[in-house]
Amino acid sequence: QVRLVESGGGLVQPGGSLRLSCAASGSVFLINNMGWYRQAPGIQRELVATITDGGSTNYADSIKGRFTISRDNAKNTVALQMNSLKSEDTAIYYCYAGVRGSTFTRPYDSWGQGTKVTVAS
C-alpha cells in the first residue's frame, strides 16, 4: 500500500506562485514514476507533470516554462513549483505514484485526495 497526501493548495492571484507538495508513505520502495494531474470542472483529468525515479521529467504543453516538478527520493516527496499562474490553472491537483508489483501485489496507480488551487483576482 502506498499513501499519498498533498498539501500547499490555496488561492493565488494571476501571475502569482504556489508550491504543492506530496508526501508518500507505506511501501515507498515500490514507487517508480510520480507526478501531478489536475481536474477542472467539466474537463477531463489531465497530466500536468511527471518525474521518474531517475529524475527525468515530462510536462504538459500548457504549463511548460511555468511549472517545475521535483522529487526527493530520500524523503519520499514530490513537489510542483507553479509560477506565473493563470486562471485556467484553477483545478484540483492530484499527486500520482506508479507502484510496481511485488511478490504479493500487482502494479497499480496510487492517487492522493487532491488539493485545490484557485487562481483569481
Q: What is the average per-residue pLDDT within 31-55?
A: 95
Q: Quick one: pLDDT at residue 73?
A: 85
Q: What is the largest CA-CA distance in the chain?
A: 51
Q: Percent helix, strand and coil across the chain, each rounded to 5?
A: 5, 55, 40
Q: Quick one: pLDDT at residue 105?
A: 87
In tens, the pLDDT along 54-109 reads: 999 999 999 999 999 999 988 999 999 999 999 999 999 999 999 999 898 899 99
In tens, the pLDDT along 44-66 reads: 999 999 999 899 999 999 999 99
Calculate the average pLDDT of the chain: 96
